[in-house]
Amino acid sequence: MTRAAREVLSDVRLALDMLQDEVDPDRWRVHWAGGVALLRAVGHVLLNVDQSSNVELARIADAAHRRWRSADPAHTVYRDFILEERNNILKEYRSKVHPLDKVPVAIRLTLVNPATGEVRYLDEVADFDENLFRPLVEGYGEGEDARDIFGEAIEWWERELLAIDDELIRRARQ
């Protein structure tokens, strides 16, 4: 089973909770770096710890790892976010998250006059601060809040670990 990898994944969820609550930009950056490293550690622990005690799990996990690195769009979050953001942070100490604590966001208001039905548009720029919006500025998830993509990566890991465990159980019953 994927017990050790799931233990890391539990810590990844805790890291996301910390990212949701942190308002200090310096502390947020540290939580982000740690959380992204943990996201990648799920796979390392699966391949280096969990599978070391079970030959059949090693076969299943190795096959899964090959799928994750393939061009299959089902694993884009692994290749283009988990791997890439981890490499950005740990090898270059840079991130794709918007670097400022205030993020200017363009807002278009649609105003409809209830009497005439006339439609007008009002364009404004609002500064989101206090951890309200931390968008990714390029690549996978561009324009989305980084925490939403982080959560997507957690869901992806959960599906993949469940599939590995299910396959291990299926093979044991044969």
DSSP-derived secondary structure letter, 132? S
As given in the structure block, the two tokens for residue 76 are 């884009």
CA proximity to 41, closest of 59, 15, 21:
15
Q: pLDDT tens across 86-120, in order? A: 999 999 999 999 887 777 777 888 999 999 999 99
Q: pLDDT tens across 43-98, in order? A: 999 999 999 989 999 999 999 999 999 999 999 999 999 999 999 999 999 999 98
Task: Read off the pTM.
Answer: 0.88
As given in the structure block, the two tokens for residue 125 are 């720029």
